[in-house]
Amino acid sequence: MKKKSFKKKFISLSAALSVSVCAVTLPVMAGWQQIGCMGDLNNDSEVNIADLLLLSKHILNKLSLTSDNSYYINHSYYSIDGSDPDDSLEYLHTADINQDGKIDVFDLIMMRKYVINKSGDPVYKWSDDDSTTTSSSTSTTTTTTSTSSAQNSETTSSTTAVTSEFIEAPVRDLYGSLPSQENAEMVIFYVDFPDCKYQYDPSAEEIEKIAFGNENAEDKNYPFESISAFYNRSSKGSMKLDGKVFRYTTKENKSAYEGDIYHVNLINEVFQAFENSEDFTQFDSNGDKIIDAALISVPTEAGSENWWPAAGQYGGTNDLKVDGMSVGHVIVGNAQIESKTDYKNFNSSYLHEIGHCMGLPDYYLYTNEKDFEGLHGSAGYELMDEANSDFSAVSKLMLGWFRRSQIEVYDSSTGTQTFTLTNAQTENGNCVIIPYGKLEDNYYSEFFVIEYTTLDINNSSLKKDFWWKSTGSGIRVLHVNGEINDNYGWKYWKYASGENTATNNDEGKRFVRIIDDTDTDNLYHTGDVIDSSISGFNWYDSDGNQSVDPKIKITVGEQDGESYTITISEK
């Protein structure tokens, strides 16, 4: 059984942005004139990573901001909106971005939005002069994209080709640093300690073949013969993962690195150990000045208390730079390669964690005992849940692993509709979406998604790994609530399944659920009818209860080789 991986919230202050300063000639007349920008703490006419670091150090009580970081009144008035002068405004502190009289984490969140987006609040000064002068104003121009970027304005021809064939990946708008489409790069550090060694010690070249090798259906570890091969199959060829492996033994014994939930000291050490000998820009596939993703694997004997596999953003308070690159998502864990021919657990464990690096949440709840699996029954197998299995249609949709022609949407205004679903584990695998009202852009809304899942290809291990449980092939229906929170540019899934509080401990809305979520055979076959009498086939009400009748039914038709038909009609 695949181990659970508790996703830790690594906090990163890094962002990739090029900020340009534009000199513009302004007529200076009586009225408001722009003289700067909120968030510019070092007075360099830019709002960038340097300002983020200053503000974060101030919040952590490591630095005191001075009057140099403020615009003080001097027989004039200042404003951030160009409104009438305010007699009560004694000074305007550029770090107090939300103007609530406090400098805290909420200002840091707003500053991060400034850095990521083409936005920011200019500072105006009231002037009584009538003259002409050349004044500097700041304008942020995103020439490289951060981890939450949508599509670069400057796209290569190969990327254009992919995005014209495949849908744009919704996760591009979120927090992942590893691209889920086109080329993606990963650096792996296979690390041990002076007092905790691997029993089987593979070379870097051997690990590279295991992680990034070609497809081999004859390998006994198949479909986990290679991380790259698994992703290539699941993504229908839309993702090309490559990378390089480094072997390293730490300077200190294992205990010196424990107790640090973000593993900052270990991460810093391994990167700095190779900084002078390696070019880390090769691990930035999309040109955003952020290393796509990193994996630090340690021996299984290191124990699970401190080394359970987990992924998150780099959590250092100092901005670690290697070859001018910031560090994106980092995985740290103790899933090891057991022998020359046994590396299944290594690949399957980190395949799950790499899903986090691309922006997917866990599909189970962290501390809910009844939710050991997020998706139950013969239909409840998903790589982001607890299973050594393929991604579901939900994940593939969010990762952009469907061609445009492979997504069909039910339209109730057209009456009864019949669709053909093709084996989801194949190149031609498709899905049908039933939206609740308007289907929002990037699928950030509530809907059902239907697919025909089988025990083929990337699901083939289910037949032997889960021999004691119900498995099989058939139609499955997943209930998705893809709403996101946009916290001043920091976007994340509003009802992430791993978050107990976000889902009201599984009593409320959830990013993904399975219909008839029980430990039974909940796959559907020819002649089966799915309607509101089936547990879970209802929309959420305003209180988060699944109580709103969709007033439709799904009738499963005939199976014909690699496909099933389904008919959706009003009930």
CA-based nearest residue to 402, from 333, 455, 451, 461: 451
Measure the CA–CA gap between 197 and 200, rounded to whole angstroms: 9
CA-based nearest residue to 443, from 485, 487, 397, 475: 397
Q: What band does 51 get if pLDDT is binned at 50, 70 and 90? A: confident
Measure the CA–CA gap between 176 and 169, rounded to whole angstroms: 11
Most confident of the ranges 136-145, 244-253, 433-442 = 244-253
Single-letter code of the amino acid located at 223: P
* pLDDT above 70 (res 434): yes
More confident: 465 or 315 = 465
Domains and CATH numbers, the chain: 18-141 (1.10.1330.10), 157-357 (no CATH), 369-570 (no CATH)
Q: Which of 132-146, 177-191, 298-312, 440-454 has the lowest mean pLDDT?
A: 132-146
pLDDT given at position 317: 53
pLDDT given at position 64: 66
Q: What is the tens place of the pLDDT at every residue in 352-371?
A: 999 999 999 999 988 776 66
pLDDT given at position 499: 87
Q: Which pTM was predicted?
A: 0.72
Q: Are the C-beta atoms of 219 and 225 separated by less than 8 Å?
A: yes
* pLDDT above 50 (res 323): yes
Q: What is the tens place of the pLDDT at every residue in 138-195?
A: 333 222 222 322 233 333 333 334 445 899 999 988 888 999 999 999 999 999 999 9
pLDDT given at position 33: 61
More confident: 52 or 379 = 379
Measure the CA–CA gap between 571 and 532, rounded to whole angstroms: 9
Q: Which of 125-139, 376-390, 528-542, 555-569 has the lowest mean pLDDT?
A: 125-139
105-116 helix and 49-59 helix, angle to the nearest 10 degrees: 170
pLDDT given at position 519: 87
pLDDT given at position 104: 79
- Measure the CA angle with vertex 38, ends 115 and 126; round to 5°: 150
Rounded average pLDDT over 503-510: 91
- CB within 8 A of 84, min separation 6: which ones? none
Q: Which of 89-103, 200-214, 225-239, 460-474 has the lowest mean pLDDT?
A: 89-103
Q: What is the tens place of the pLDDT at every residue in 3-37?
A: 333 333 332 323 333 333 323 233 334 455 666 77
pLDDT given at position 21: 34
Average pLDDT of the residues of the chain: 81
pLDDT given at position 344: 95
